Structure 1
Amino acid sequence: MTETVVHTLLDSARRTPDRLAFRVIERTEEEFALSCADVARLLGETAAGLSAEGLDEGDRIILVLPTSRDFLAVYLGCLHAGVVPIVTAEPTGGSSERYTENLRRLADHAGARRIIAPADLAPALPIPVTTPDDLRGAAPRLDAPRARLEALAHLQATSGSTGVPKLAMVRHGNIVANVRAIAEAIRARPDDSLVSWLPLFHDMGLIGISYALQARIPMVLADPVNFLRNPMSWLRWISRYGGTLSPAPSSAFHICARVARRRPQSDLDLSSWRVALCGAEPVHESTMREFQDTFGPFGLPETTLLPVYGLAESTLAVTISDVDRPYAVDRVDAEAVAAKGHAEPRPADDPRSVAMMCVGPELPGHRLRIVDEDGEPVPERAIGEIEVAGPSVIDGYLPGPEQETNDAFRTPDGYLRTGDLGYRLDGEVYVTGRRKDIVIIAGRNYVPDQLERFVEAVTESPRTPAVVAVGVPDPSLPTEQLHLLLDERLAEEGDRGAVTDRVTRALAEAFGIVGVSFHWIARSKLPRTTSGKIQRHLCRKMIEEQLTAPSGYV
């Protein structure tokens, strides 16, 4: 019988109590080694504390904690007790009133009875707060876990990159299915070790905990603040502890390569790192190449970097690139993509070509298809909507106000409508963008990410993302106009006219796009999700409401 991740943890605590389960690197940079027995004890204490606080199976709580021993104790204790956590980001330096209001709305939507948070946050939060210390002291409860495969494990907020975040209902069975399929796809080894600094309110960070427990391997679990203070600390943890698995978004690879160029590194050994899943945001060929060129001399294998595709509605991963070969790129005709919805191959040196990253085949035990607007499968290289089916796919979203029903979530034959666009080639998937983000100009469909990468190349941008492309209805024509929001660091004020002239000519030549509007904007003013993704719908709203001065954003 298949059991939950909690059952696997307790079995490990019985069989190998002294084996290292987690090395937690907290915000203070202090490190704490936790054995399987330690984690089981923390879990048992928290489960008893939740019961003492009147929280029972099926109750929902919001978890606002940094990456820490407390987080592990509370999250895993909730899973054991059948209490359903919603992990959310801590407040940042922005408006405290806005954070509190967003948390209140989240609590109302989720029906949360309690917030688990540090004591210093309690006065500002909208519903009763329990601290991790309040959950300690009771005798550990080590009775049979209330976790069941069919029961809710947690509610995962979607990214909200194209609209209001929703709460995905992730069940224990979804988690087990996804981490097992990931293990098969990456050819898991018993001597693997996982290194992660990813935020735990993001599925890529949170599911990593379950992967390590299910695979019975040690995990270095670091607070993301440590990465933000010193991005190279990530690679030093891999080097120091011999990490073999370590995922991250594309931007993290870009940042590390930039830092290493400014501050040459030494004493790094990345030869143990065999799987670097790269996802959560569009993956750029230039980023992968730059990272490999920078860290190859430190032993980074050419097969380590693996672009992937995933989404919260499928627990985490949907596709993973082949672990036995370097990442693959398909150069295609930009004009054919826009005009025909077809990825026609082009030579690498053709200025009209764009690079599409291969994200691999679907996970073992899962199904994926590309369909047209009528739901009919399309041939190879034809761009359509990605639909996914399998045991990792969730039932739907927690019902809430102003939300479409879950009837639109799946097709009649059980496939998840992802809203993502892509195509197949030789059995592997290439993701081209989001359906809701498509810019339609004179009847042609342009994928914003392709336009953004193209403009970054034209401007020779040293950073990414530096460009945001959105389509706004043109009141004088039955079409949209392309608006480009440019990071003001791309050029000094006196040079910006020359930059926009160069981009205008390049877009006209490569895509046939004319009448482009440019807006120079400070990076800090771009609306983003809590996980850092650009919210294009809000960028579009900014332009539609004419919040800019005539000279552009300042």
Structure 2
Amino acid sequence: MTGYTNLVRCLRDRAERYGDGRWFAYVTSRGGELVETDRLGYARLDERARALGTWIAGEGSAGRPVLLLYPAGPEFLCAFFGCLYAGAIAVPAPLPGTDAHALERAEGMIADCGGRMVLTDAANLPGLRERLGRSGPDERVRCVATDGGDLRGSGRLPDAAPSDVAYLQYTSGSTGRPRGVAISHGNVLANCAAIGSWVGAPAARTAAGWLPHFHDMGLVGMLHTLFAGGDLVCAPPVAFLARPALWLEMIDRYRAGTTVAPDSGYEWLARRCRDEKLAGLDVSCLRRAVIGAEPVRPSTLEAVERRFAAIGWDRRVWAPAYGLAEATLLVAGSPGGGPVVRRPGTDPGSAGTSAGIVAAGRPVGARVRVVDPRTRVPLDDGRVGEIWVAGDGVALGYHGDAEATERTFRTRLRDGEGPYLRTGDLGYVEDGLLHVTGRLKEVVIVNGRNLYPHDLEEAGRRAHPAAGAGAAFAVAGGDREHVVLVQEVDRRRAEPLDALARSVRHAVSAAAGVPVSVVLVRRNAIARTTSGKVRRHRTRRRWLDGRLTVLHADLEPDAGLAVSAVRS
């Protein structure tokens, strides 16, 4: 039990209890230094959100989706809670800017959710009006800036029920088109309570991070901060990417006990943070370094520990976790004391290629079953199957898609037990810990063996210093599947491309135990989601369509014939 029936009541209680003594601080990097640009206290947030809520309600948006297109900063949170106050459905989305893909995504979200109002700030209003003002031949999208202070209304503010939709969390679409997951007030409150029981109060008092507010991990992180009555220090993702040391400076200056990021963020920190930027820093205050949202690589954990042990990074702070938007966020988390890593040959999910698998931990506020997806029968510990989840954090379903909701959120075991959420993720349980091995749709089956794309990609990354991210997938040809690895490379560190391709191909083929074709591309050529996850299916389609700029290809003969057949 959370003690609240909706998120608005949680905000009002926290504002009354703490005033502006608890806050969200917004920082960035200027001239190579950390600078705090704004601070939004709980009371100020509540006051601004309530005022905006009366205006939104007066505009007739109660019960309707409202798209939120904001840069990093306090305006987003005010607009988000303004929607909740009004009984509208908040739809966080990435600000398009000049990015054609982000603009296409925003337009797709508007069309999918049926929203007719976009909230933003004054700086971005003209551009959004020009780009999003028309969503169809007869319909217009209204774009409004909320930071001018001139929005006044007298709309009635409802008291939402726990089952009412609070917001739509659009999925990253790493294996298909993005969908709007309908998250209720009760879902969020239950998941925040679960996160609190897992993280613990001392670690939750102050958190620091740079995840975008439209990402489920970033948004729920903000909401959990409020739920826990803590402080949160936020930086724009672009500021972290440009100067990774900013993240460590935030932890140091604000004495943060918790931080959260995907594996790729920690890997970027270890690889790109310059040694001279570490002087005088102390991150020994950190109690929980949550890592999730994508496969956790043992090499990333080791790299971070090695780079930052001298400034107080303790291996015991690692908190690997597993979650997904369809379950609001958290499903399982490491019990503490450091990560549990199963080395090659010791985990049932290994196809012989893995550099080790990091346990995602024990279920937190959820019931987890590992199930044979064909028979719908639970599997014994140690056997790989699909991960099914039940609990109060499981979302209501996909907005406007009853068929997909029934198929994904209403599944039952063969004996009738349920309903369960089918995650589409593969994994197994060993010693009470959940281990995630990959995606059901992305498993490559060759000669009767299950090969996991993440394992193949990790083998490619480790094959050469110039190798970066990869996207592994299968191409059908003849009487079998052919494995292809699209491998990003850093041309500045690369030897002749043909030799580099051979090195990667030999290493991955040896690790997988089957022939692998390798396609070299420049860094950032692989399709990714807004959170940085590799989009294997889209990368595969672009390569097969000839829309991927290839630096060099070393293809297995049969695979080359299969690709030629597809393109002809």
Q: Name the TM-score, length of structure 1 as normaliser.
A: 0.89
| Counterparts of residues 150-165 of structure 1 (less than 5 Å) | 150-165=163-178
Q: Which amino acid letter does the alignment assign opposite residue 443 of structure 1?
A: G
Deviation, 1:320, is: 0.8
**Closer/same/farther in 2, CA of residues 379 and 354 from structure 1, 3 Å limit:** farther
Q: Which residue of 2 aligns with 1:69?
A: 74
2:244 and 2:493 map into 1 onto residues whose CA distance is 27
2:279 counterpart of 1:266: yes
Q: Deviations over 1:338-397 (max 9, x none)?
A: xxxx3479xxxxx8663011110110x310011113121212221111111100001210
2:376 counterpart of 1:367: no
Q: Which residue of 1 aligns with 2:14?
A: 12
Deviation, 1:311, is: 0.4
Q: Deviations over 1:423-457 (max 9, x none)?
A: 11100011111011111222222100011112222
Q: Deviations over 1:161-182 (max 9, x none)?
A: 0010011000000000001001
Q: Which amino acid letter does the alignment assign opposite residue 274 of structure 1?
A: R
Q: Which residue of 2 aligns with 1:293?
A: 306
1:234 and 1:438 map into 2 onto residues whose CA distance is 35
Q: Which amino acid letter does the alignment assign opposite residue 496 of structure 1?
A: L
Q: Which residue of 2 aligns with 1:242?
A: 255
- Where 1:129 maps in the other structure, the secondary structure is strand
1:352 and 1:407 map into 2 onto residues whose CA distance is 33
Contact 1:27/1:225 (8 A) holds in 2: no
Contact 2:341/2:359 (8 A) holds in 1: yes
**Closer/same/farther in 2, CA of residues 439 and 352 from structure 1, 3 Å limit:** closer
User: Which of 26, 30, 40 is the matching residue for 2:46?
Assistant: 40
Q: Which residue of 2 aligns with 1:379?
A: 380
- Where 1:469 maps in the other structure, the secondary structure is strand
| Counterparts of residues 73-472 of structure 1 (less than 5 Å) | 73-95=78-100, 99-117=102-120, 118-121=124-127, 122-125=129-132, 126=134, 127-133=141-147, 136-138=150-152, 146-189=159-202, 192-261=205-274, 263-323=276-336, 325-333=337-345, 342-343=348-349, 354-363=355-364, 365-372=365-372, 373-400=374-401, 404-412=404-412, 413-460=418-465, 464=468, 466-472=469-475
Q: Deviations over 1:163-214 (max 9, x none)?
A: 1001100000000000100110122238721212111110001111110111
1:399 and 1:344 map into 2 onto residues whose CA distance is 38
Contact 1:307/1:320 (8 A) holds in 2: yes
Aligned residues between the structures = 531
Q: Which residue of 2 aligns with 1:499?
A: 500
2:528 counterpart of 1:528: yes
1:406 and 1:281 map into 2 onto residues whose CA distance is 26
1:198 and 1:550 map into 2 onto residues whose CA distance is 31
Contact 1:527/1:535 (8 A) holds in 2: yes
Contact 2:498/2:552 (8 A) holds in 1: no
Deviation, 1:550, is: 8.3
- Where 1:246 maps in the other structure, the secondary structure is strand
**Closer/same/farther in 2, CA of residues 437 and 552 from structure 1, 3 Å limit:** same
Contact 2:369/2:389 (8 A) holds in 1: yes
Contact 2:244/2:269 (8 A) holds in 1: yes
Q: Which amino acid letter does the alignment assign opposite residue 525 of structure 1?
A: A
Deviation, 1:548, is: 5.5
Q: Give the stretch that moved more between structures: 78-87 or 17-26.
A: 17-26
Deviation, 1:549, is: 7.5
Higher strand fraction (1 or 2): 2
Deviation, 1:27, is: 8.5
- Where 1:106 maps in the other structure, the secondary structure is helix
- Where 2:485 maps in the other structure, the secondary structure is strand
Q: Which amino acid letter does the alignment assign opposite residue 223 of structure 1?
A: P
Deviation, 1:492, is: 5.9
| Counterparts of residues 499-518 of structure 1 (less than 5 Å) | 499-514=500-515, 516-518=516-518
**Closer/same/farther in 2, CA of residues 254 and 190 from structure 1, 3 Å limit:** closer
- Where 2:177 maps in the other structure, the secondary structure is coil
Deviation, 1:105, is: 2.8
1:395 and 1:193 map into 2 onto residues whose CA distance is 31
Contact 1:397/1:406 (8 A) holds in 2: no
- Where 1:393 maps in the other structure, the secondary structure is coil
Q: Give the stretch that moved more between structures: 497-506 or 145-154.
A: 497-506
Gaps of 5+ in 1: 346-350
1:488 and 1:368 map into 2 onto residues whose CA distance is 39
**Closer/same/farther in 2, CA of residues 353 and 104 from structure 1, 3 Å limit:** closer
Deviation, 1:507, is: 3.7
**Closer/same/farther in 2, CA of residues 492 and 16 from structure 1, 3 Å limit:** closer
Contact 1:310/1:318 (8 A) holds in 2: yes
1:280 and 1:217 map into 2 onto residues whose CA distance is 23
Q: Which amino acid letter does the alignment assign opposite residue 338 of structure 2?
A: P
Contact 1:200/1:206 (8 A) holds in 2: yes
**Closer/same/farther in 2, CA of residues 436 and 502 from structure 1, 3 Å limit:** same
Contact 1:45/1:136 (8 A) holds in 2: no
Q: Give the stretch that moved more between structures: 183-192 or 389-398.
A: 183-192
Q: Give the stretch that moved more between structures: 112-121 or 161-170.
A: 112-121
Deviation, 1:101, is: 4.2
Q: Which amino acid letter does the alignment assign opposite residue 382 of structure 1?
A: R
**Closer/same/farther in 2, CA of residues 33 and 495 from structure 1, 3 Å limit:** same
2:505 and 2:256 map into 1 onto residues whose CA distance is 46
1:166 and 1:409 map into 2 onto residues whose CA distance is 13
Q: Which residue of 1 aligns with 2:62?
A: 57
Q: Give the stretch that moved more between structures: 480-489 or 312-321.
A: 480-489
Deviation, 1:268, is: 0.9
Report the RMSD for the aligned CA atoms in angstroms: 2.6
2:552 and 2:504 map into 1 onto residues whose CA distance is 17
1:137 and 1:64 map into 2 onto residues whose CA distance is 17
Contact 1:277/1:308 (8 A) holds in 2: yes
- Where 1:318 maps in the other structure, the secondary structure is strand
Q: Which amino acid letter does the alignment assign opposite residue 530 of structure 1?
A: T
Q: Which residue of 2 aligns with 1:348?
A: none
Contact 1:449/1:469 (8 A) holds in 2: yes
Contact 2:192/2:224 (8 A) holds in 1: yes
2:43 and 2:249 map into 1 onto residues whose CA distance is 28
2:153 and 2:334 map into 1 onto residues whose CA distance is 46
Q: Which amino acid letter does the alignment assign opposite residue 257 of structure 2?
A: T
1:190 and 1:528 map into 2 onto residues whose CA distance is 32
Identical counterparts, % of pairs:
32
Q: Which amino acid letter does the alignment assign opposite residue 35 of structure 1?
A: G
Deviation, 1:254, is: 1.1
Q: Which amino acid letter does the alignment assign opposite residue 114 of structure 2?
A: G
Contact 1:157/1:166 (8 A) holds in 2: yes
1:525 and 1:550 map into 2 onto residues whose CA distance is 9
- Where 1:303 maps in the other structure, the secondary structure is helix
